[in-house]
Amino acid sequence: MCQSSRHRLRTLHDGILVGIETAHNDDPQLNTRHLPPSQEEPHHSPRPIILDGRLRLPTTCKLLKNHAAGTGRRPWIIAIEPPEDDASWQARFDALTLAGAKILFINRGSDRTDAALSVLHSQGIQSLMVEGGARVIESFLASHCVDTLLITTAPVLVGEGGIGYSVPRGNNGFKQNRRNAIAQTPPVQEPELDVVDNDDGEIEDEAPGVEGTEAAKKKKKKKKPKKKSAKPVQSDPPRIGLSQFFPDGIYPEGEIQHYKDDNLWRETSEEKRYLDKMTHEDPETTYQNIRKGAEVHRLVRQHARKNIRPGMSLTEIAENIEAGTRALVEGDGLEAGVGFPTGLNLNNCAAHFTPNAGDTTILQMGDILKVDIGVHSKGFILDSAFTMSWAPEYDQLIEAVKAATNTGIREAGIDVRLGELGGLIQETMESYEVEIGGKVYPVKSIENLSGHTIKPYQIHGGSNGKSVPLVKTNDQTKMEEGDYFAIETFGSTGRGKIVESGDCSHYAKIYDAPNVPLRLTSAKSLLKTINKNFGTLPFCRRYLDRLGESKYLLALNHLVAQGIVSDYPPLFDQIGSKTAQFEHTIILRPTCKEVVSRGDDY
C-alpha cells in the first residue's frame, strides 16, 4: 500500500496503534503527513497509541518530538500496572510523562487486547486502526473484535513472523528455487514482548537480503555508537528546572482550536501567518514564555492532583505547589516565579483564599477544593484552576463547571461579544443539577465572578482589561486578535452570588498607582520590598514572611488606604453551599486559538 493511501485510511479513525517493537525498530510518526494540504479543513490526525507494557518507548522518539514541536498529537502508551520489584519503573514513567506521553494502564494478568480496547473506549476512542506488527495484528484477530481487514500485496516474500526478504539469485543471475531460498533464511529471534508486536508499521524500503545473497556477503563495518549524554529524569516531587529538559527554550504548544464561521479564513491567510510568525519570533511577545508557564503548571498540578488528600493542611498544600513552581520555572521574582498566591478555596469559598501564617485549616473528606495556580515567565502569567473532591455526590457539580469552561473556550474567538459568550457559558452551566444529601440543587453560574484578560505582570489586564461574564449580559465588548484570556467559570449550589468575607490574604500593587507621599516609614520600606520582588504581580502575606518582613500589617493596610496596593479578600457564596471552578489560559493568535494550559487531566 502506498504511503498516501495508508495515510488517507488513518484519517478515518480516532486512533492508530502499533506495538513497542515497531516503535523501537521503525520510529514511526503515525500521522498523515503524506496527504496533500486540504483547501477546506485540515486532515483529521488520529491519536498515536503504543502497546508498551514495561514503558520502554524512548523519550527521543519522533512521536514525542513531534508532540513537543507542536506538529503531532500527544502519544498514548498502554502499559501494564508495574510489578512491585521493578525499581526503575517510576523513573521510566516520569521520563515519558515529562516528555509528553500519556500513560494508560491495564491490569496485570488480564486479556491484554480486550483490556486495551476497554481503556481506549473509556478515553473516547471509537475506531482504531492497527498497523502492526504481525503478532499485534494476530492478537486482535484472535480477539474477534476486528471489523475490517485490509490485505495488500507487494513483490516481497514474507517469512516467519512477518519478516520480509529478497529471493537470492544463482551464479547465472536467475532466481534460485524458493524452497532453497527459505532454507537459507536464518532463524528469526522472537522478541521478548510485554504486549504483542513484531514487525513494521512505517517502513516501505526494499526488504533486506538474507544470508548467502550478494547483498549479505558485502559486510559493512559497524559504526561505533556515539556516547549519549544521560537524559535528565524529573524528580518526585518535581524540582528539576525545565531548562534541563528544554535546553533550546522551545516548549510544547497548547491545544490548537480553529476559529469558527467568519474567521476560518485566518488559518490560511498569508498575512495572518506572517503576523503569527513575527509575534512568535519577537523576544518581547514570543509564545514560549507562556508555554513555559503552562508546562510548569501541568507538572506541578499533576503532582498536586496525585498527592493532595484529606488530612493535609492547606499551608502544606500551598507550600508544596509553590516550591515546585519556583524550582521548575527557575525563578523567584520578577524574571520568573509564582504568578499569584496559590488559591485553595474550600466549599462555599469560591476564590481569593490562601492560608496566612498560622492557619491550621485541615482538608476534610467531605470538602470540595478549588486549586488555582499561577506561573509566570518574564511577566507572562499562566492562570489555570481545577476542582477536587473525595465525595462522589459533588461529581455533577464539578462536571457542570468543567463543561461550562470548555464551552467558553470553544465559543471564544476574535470579534466574539463578551455578553453573548457569557450567555453560552450560563446555558451550559445551568443545564446541570446535583443531588447532595438527598436534595436536588440546580447548578448556578456565579453572576458576579468572571474570566479576564491577562497582560504582562497584570493578572486582570490592568485598568482597561476585559471581563468574560458567566451569565448573559448586554456587554458589546469584543474579543480581539492578540488577546490573552483566562476563561474561568464558577458554579454554585447556593445563590450564585458571592460577597467578600474573612481575613484578606491576596494583595497586588496597582499598575497605575498614584505617586502619593507616605507618612509611615514602615510603609515606604514595605513598598520597596513589594516593588523589588513582585512589581504588580499579586502576592500574599506568606510571601512577605518568606522575605523576612515582620510586623508589616499596619504598613500594608496603609498602602491599601492610599490606593497604592489593592486588597482581594476571600469571596464566599452563602453558608452551606458548594462551589466549583475550572479555568484555562487561551491566546487568540492571528491564525488560530491556542489553549495554552490544556492537559490530559482537564
Biggest CA-to-CA distance, the chain: 105
Contact criterion met (CB below 8 Å) for 577 and 348: yes
Catalytic site residue from 303, 376, 452, 506: 452
The helix/strand/coil state of 222 is coil
Where on the phi/psi map is residue 304: left (φ > 0), alpha (ψ -120 to 50), or beta? alpha
For residue 244, give the DSSP letter. Answer: G
Does 86 belong to an annotated binding site?
A: no
The amino acid that residue 36 corresponds to is P
What's the 3-state SS for 19-44?
EHHHHHHHCCCCCCCCCCCCCCCCCC
- Assess whether 452 carries a catalytic annotation: yes
At position 528, the amino acid (one-letter code) is K
| The three cell numbers locating residue 366 | 467531605
Cell of 41: 479543513
Using alpha carbons, select from 303, 293, 299, 367 the residue that is nearest to residue 337. Answer: 293
Q: Tell me which of 488, 549, 573, 594 is the catalytic residue.
A: 488
Sheet holding 499-500: strands in order across? 349-351, 571-572, 499-500
- Is 85 assigned a catalytic role? no
**Strand pairing class (506-509; 571-572):** unpaired
- Answer for the pair 505, 341: CB distance below 8 angstroms, yes or no: yes
Give the DSSP H or E segment for 380: strand 380-389
Neighbouring C-beta atoms of residue 14, cutoff 10 Å: 17
Q: Which of 67, 303, 376, 460 is the catalytic position?
A: 460
The residue among 48, 71, 197 whose CA lies nearest residue 125 is: 48
Q: Answer left, alpha or beta for residue 6, where phi above 0 means left and psi between -120 and 50 means alpha.
A: alpha
Alpha helices in 70-151 (DSSP H): 89-99, 112-122, 134-142
R_g over Cα of the chain? 28
Distance CA 329, CA 333 (A): 11
475 is in an annotated binding site: no
Tell me how far apart the alpha carbons of residues 488 and 386 are, in angstroms, rounded to a whole number.
Answer: 10
| Selected catalytic residue, list 21, 202, 383, 549 | 383
- Burial environment of residue 19 by CB neighbours within 10 A (0 to 12, 13 to 18, 19 or more): buried
Given a contact cutoff of 8 angstroms between Cβ atoms, the answer to whether 347 and 578 are in contact is yes
Beta strands in 200-356 (DSSP E): 255-257, 336-346, 349-351
Residues with Cβ within 8 Å of 168's Cβ and at least 6 positions away in sequence, in order, are 175, 176, 181, 184, 209, 210, 212, 213, 214
Q: Is 96 left (phi over 0), alpha (psi -120 to 50) or beta?
A: alpha
280 to 55, 249, 254, 482, 538: CA distances (angstroms) = 35, 13, 14, 11, 27
Q: How far apart are CA 25 and CA 297, in angstroms?
A: 34
Has 352 been labeled as part of a binding site?
yes
- Whether 488 has a binding-site annotation, put simply, is yes
- Residue 383 annotated as binding? yes
204 is an annotated ligand-binding site residue: no
Q: Is 138 annotated as a binding residue?
A: no
Catalytic residue among 21, 197, 295, 372: 372
The answer to whether 372 is a known catalytic residue is yes
The continuous run of DSSP H or E covering 500 comes out as strand 499-500
Whole-angstrom Cα distance, residue 490 to residue 194?
44
- Cβ contact 434:394 at 8 Å: yes
Which among 23, 27, 19, 26 has a CA at the least distance from the CA of 140? 19
Annotated binding site: 352, 372, 383, 452, 460, 488, 583
Annotated binding site for a divalent metal cation: 372, 383, 452, 488, 583
Annotated binding site for substrate: 352, 460
Q: Annotated catalytic sites, by residue?
A: 372, 383, 452, 460, 488, 583
